[in-house]
Structure formats: structure tokens, C-alpha cells
Structure 1
Amino acid sequence: MKRIAAAAGGLALSGAAAVAYAALIEVRWFALRSVDVPVLKPGSAPIKLLHISDLHLMPGQHRKQQWVRSLAELEPDLVVNTGDNISSADSVWPLLDCLDPLLELPGVFVSGSNDYFAPRPKNPVTYLFGPSKGPRASDLEHRRLPTETMDAAFENAGWLNLRNTRGELTVAGQRLEFAGVDDPHLRYDRYADVAGGFTEAADLRIGVTHAPYKRVLNAMSDDDAQLILAGHTHGGQLCVPGYGALITNCDLDRRRVKGLSRWGDAWLHVSAGLGTSPFAPVRFSCRPEATLLTLREAGSPL
């Protein structure tokens, strides 16, 4: 019995240590990932693309704000923001403050559910049984976030709002064409509204979505997008070393929960994001991250 009690005590202590690590250390241990993507036309100059996602910013998260501000020192050519920026109505101005140096650069954005609605408490175990549910109709109004204020600031800075629309930018002397959708997790996406619009004159065709649902990835790939960028998954958020993510919170397979992979003929990059829901502020074996993608000539080694 003493051995059993000692083993149980050891497990309890290990579990408590893991929770403390996930809640106090890793969730604030921000990582910058660097990835090369061989996607540009022969002879093209490289493009540095900064992919940020899922900040879920709350007031008082000063370390996260400072780290995000520091990303401007990378001098990216382009910023792509794949949504879920805030988790509180009081987060808009702290968000704009930390993004201020990045807003001086060319950029595009789409929205996630937490750009529209504040999160609510829920049992995290339910995530193991399928994607999280959208907001309840009964509490939509009082959970509404000041989306329009955030959008206006992004647009006034020159960032393209790609929710169910297209746009183009000239970056590093190259013509980039974009097709984006509103949040597929809320079923706000309407890719049919923008399908078939890429032109032969484009030097690079990019699809942008918050949540990487297969229906959106398939539509973008079928439309000849060469690079697709998404967030939403948090990289699984709680991962098992040697096994990886348990869930993706959408219908994407686990092996593509974060990082670079292929989707049809397109490259797909899914960001593990920089934050968490304020009601589940933990990460384990899945550091919060932003990614600097260096776009290079097709055929270049990874």
C-alpha cells in the first residue's frame, strides 16, 4: 500500500508540475519560427512574409504586446494576420499599440470568431469530442466585440480586409493577388463570391483564411492558389511529446495542425498562434508562435 500511495503521490506531483509549467511558463514562451517556401517564379527576389495569428489579447498581457512589437525588427516585406486578435472589448487599443510598427508595412487580414464575439467559459474536455461550437444566439449581443473599430484601424493603415473578397499588393516589386474568406468556424465563409478571380499576371496567388477547414482549402487549391495561410488550431495547444496534437478544432488532420505542408498543388502554412482563450490559458509542448516565411523561387531547397 505504501508503494501505491507513493506512486499516486508522484503522479499527482508530476501532474501539478506539468500544469504549472503549461500555465506559467510555456504559455508566455514566445517562439519565432523561420520557414522557407519555394513558391515564386524563377528569378524572383525573396519575399519575407510575417504570419501572425490568434493573439487572443487581453488587457495586461504586456509581455505578449512587447514581443509582438519587436517583430517589426525583422523588417518583413508583408504581414498576414489570420485573425482572433482579441478576447475582450478592452483589448482593441492594446492590440493596435503592439501592432503599430507592423501596421506601417503592407499587410492583409481576415477575422476569426474572437474578433466578433468575446469567449465564454466552457469545459475544455468538450474539445476532445469535436470542433468547438459557435456563439449561442441568446448571448450574441452582449458578447459582441468592437470589430468595426479594429477593422477601421487596420484599413486606415493600408492593410487589405480579405473577408470574402479579393485584393492585390505589389511587394518587393512583385504582384501578389489574394483571395480571402470570413471565418469558416462560424460558417461565415463565402468563397463562391470570390472564386475564379486570380489572373495570369499575378506573380503569386495567396489564399487567406482564419480556420483551415477542408472545404475552404480545397476551394482555394482548386482555384490555383499557390500558398494558403491559416490559424485557428493553436497547434493543438496541449500536445503529447512524441505524438503531437490531440485535436485541431476543425476537420483538418492532426499532422497539418501547424507548420508547412502541401495541400494539393498549394503550400499550406498553419500558424499555432500566439495566445489562448482566457478560460484555458495553458500550452504544453506547443509554444506560442509567429512565423517568418521566406518565399523563394520554386525549385529552391527547403
Structure 2
Amino acid sequence: MRRRPPVLRIAAAVLLPALAVWTVAIEPRWVAARVEPLSSAQWQAPAGLKVAMAGDWHLTTRSAWRITSVERAARIVDEINAAQPDVILLPGDFLAGSGDDEDLSIEEMAAVLGRLKAPQGVYAVLGNHDWWHDGERTAHALSAEGIRVLENASMRLPDHDIWVVGIGDDSTGHSQPDKALAGVPKGVATLVMMHDPFSFSAMPPTRGLVVAAHTHGGQISVPGYGALVVPGRAPREWAHGWIAHKDRRMYVTSGLGVSILPVRFNMRPEWVMFQ
């Protein structure tokens, strides 16, 4: 039996532990503040308008495993506020876990995110984890902190003829794109957010920005292949970044937290500024 050359054994002994440290201890906590274009070929945004988006927070008391402690989330809130967005979109999954497996209360989570400030408003939709905890209680807690929860609903920005639209979560059966857009005047620009990107496939055409969360970018993205796994019904190719579908496009965020396993590789957590 041929023995592996010593240099390969040494390389494996060094690289494998280093990779484990990177994927568990470093990259899940290395948040990117990305800047992306707000305007597109179909729509020219008002000059200077800035829209921040931050999804999949997964706040927790168990930060060694689930990453996003209250203190960590507060620092991200401060960073977003310092960037002075005009509008903030929060596309769901605010608490980690699925119910009684998380000690942080819904109200404590909402108090942290309630510190987000934007002159044109902070808007949210609920994700699958929010429904698993208690969707109605989560919506009430966020609303009490000044965050406008748009579950298959829309509203006009105070100072622009632009409408913010929230589409409910697909994986928990709350997605109703037609209902969400029903109150939007024909032809106006929209900022559409959804938790699960699969809703994009059934969404009527719009003019403006579309964003989604839920996938975490797969958490692990293999170079040359992409995400290993994408939750929900969206195609694997919709894991992260700009997605093209029927001459329309959507941005899917990698999110801020983690789910199931506390790992990330080649897929940093992020919040995004569209400007």
C-alpha cells in the first residue's frame, strides 16, 4: 500500500484545522457592508435615494452556536444607522430557532431592531422562523417599535411616489404576491421585499427594486459550483446576489445570521446599501 507523501500529510494537517477555524469562527462573524446600484435599465431612482436591506438576523442568546447576539446585532444597527439610509428593508427571520428552543424574547429582539432609523421609514416582512415562533406577536412587537410590518401589503413612502411592498413567506404558506401589490397604483415604482425568493417566480411585473432573503447564500458556496443547498422551493442558482428572471431582476441577500450549523465558507454575512 502506497503511503501518502509527507508533504501532503503536513499540508492536510495544517489546512484542515485552518479551514475549520475559518468556516466556524471567522467568516460567520465577518460582516460585509455591500453597496449595490438602486437604479436599473427599467427604472431610474430619485437622485441620492439610499435603501438599506438587512435580513436573516437570527438573534439569539446562544451566540457561540447561532452567532447573532444582542450586542452583535446592536453594533450592526449602529453601522446601518451611520450610513444614513433613507429607507430600511428587513426581509424576515429576526429570531433564531423555532419556538421554545430560544431564550431571547420576541420583544427583546424587536427592541434591538427598533433602534434602526431612516427618514422614509423602516419596513419588514416575516420569515419562516418568525412564524414558527409566533408571527402575530412578532408583527405586533416590531410595530410597537415603529417598524412597519407589510404582510402582503403596501404603502407609499412619505416623500416619494414610490411604494414599499411586502410579500409573505412562501415556505410557511403566507405568500400572496397579487394581494401584496393590489393596492399599488399602476405604473408607479416599487421597493418589493419578500423573505423567500421563490415568491419572485409568481410576482406580477413591477418597476423598481426587488429583494429577498432566506437562503443565507447556502452558507457554503463552492467555487465554480455555488451553494450546496438552498432552503425552500427557489432554484439553487437563486442563492445569492442579482437574479435574472423573465427580464426582471432581484437581489437575494446572504443575510446576517446562520441556521442549523454555525458555518459559512465563501459566503460572508452581509447587509446591503442600494444607492
Normalised TM-score (structure 1) = 0.76
Q: Give the letter aligned to residue 52 of structure 1.
A: A
1:1-302 alignment runs, 5 A limit: 3-4=3-4, 6=6, 7=8, 10-11=11-12, 13-39=14-40, 44-59=46-61, 60=63, 61=69, 62-87=71-96, 88-103=102-117, 105=119, 106-117=121-132, 145-170=133-158, 173-200=159-186, 202=188, 204-213=189-198, 216-220=199-203, 222-277=204-259, 279-294=260-275
Q: 1:107 to 1:265 in 2, by over 3 A?
A: farther
Q: Give the letter aligned to residue 266 of structure 1.
A: R
Question: In percent, how many aligned pairs have the same letter?
Answer: 27
Residue aligned with 1:85, SS: coil
Q: Give the letter aligned to residue 50 of structure 1.
A: A
Structure 1 residue ranges without an equivalent (≥5): 118-144, 295-302
- Would the aligned equivalents of 1:179 and 1:207 in 2 still touch at CA under 8 Å? yes
Aligned mates of 2:39, 2:50 — CA distance in 1: 12
Q: Give the letter aligned to residue 78 of structure 1.
A: V
How far is 1:113 from its partner? 1.2
How far is 1:26 from its partner? 0.5
Residue aligned with 1:183, SS: coil
How far is 1:11 from its partner? 3.4
Structure 2 residue ranges without an equivalent (≥5): 64-68, 97-101
Q: Give the letter aligned to residue 217 of structure 1.
A: F
How far is 1:174 from its partner? 1.2
Q: 1:274 to 1:42 in 2, by over 3 A?
A: closer
In structure 1, what is the equivalent of residue 99 of structure 2?
none
- Would the aligned equivalents of 1:206 and 1:226 in 2 still touch at CA under 8 Å? yes
How far is 1:8 from its partner? 5.6
Aligned mates of 2:108, 2:141 — CA distance in 1: 12
Count of matched residue pairs: 260
Aligned mates of 2:177, 2:245 — CA distance in 1: 17
Residue aligned with 1:226, SS: strand
- Would the aligned equivalents of 2:86 and 2:118 in 1 still touch at CA under 8 Å? no
Q: 1:208 to 1:41 in 2, by over 3 A?
A: closer
Aligned mates of 2:229, 2:117 — CA distance in 1: 33
Q: 1:52 to 1:35 in 2, by over 3 A?
A: same
Aligned mates of 1:271, 1:255 — CA distance in 2: 13
- Would the aligned equivalents of 2:88 and 2:118 in 1 still touch at CA under 8 Å? no
Aligned mates of 1:160, 1:225 — CA distance in 2: 22
CA RMSD of aligned residues (A): 2.7
Aligned mates of 1:12, 1:82 — CA distance in 2: 41
- Would the aligned equivalents of 1:65 and 1:95 in 2 still touch at CA under 8 Å? no
Aligned mates of 1:24, 1:264 — CA distance in 2: 39
Q: Give the letter aligned to residue 95 of structure 1.
A: M
